[in-house]
Amino acid sequence: MTLSGCEFSEHELVGQAVRAATGTHRRGTQRWVAIMDAFCCGSGVAHALCRRFGFDPDEMVKP
């Protein structure tokens, strides 16, 4: 897909979103919770997305 003249695959875009997900709590949020909020999906899908793109679902991410 082309966005603003740059070529991206859907895989790249989802991977970037998973990588950039941030927590909502000031002390941090587990990555899978941030992914669940960002993608409006359930916990199983959020865990699978984290693992698919090489991230630990239980890693704490900061806001």
pLDDT digits (tens, 9 = 90+) for 6-55: 999 999 999 999 999 998 888 899 999 999 999 999 999 999 999 999 99
pLDDT for 44 equals 98
- Contacts for 30 with CB less than 8 Å, ≥ 6 apart: 23, 57, 58, 59, 60, 61
Q: Which of 22, 13, 11, 15 is nearest to 59 (CA)?
A: 22
> First vs last Cα of the chain: how many Å apart?
29
Contact present, 41 and 5 (Cβ < 8 Å) = no
State both tokens at 47: 């865990």
Q: How many helices (H) and strands (E) does the chain have?
A: 3, 4
pLDDT for 24 equals 84
pLDDT for 32 equals 97
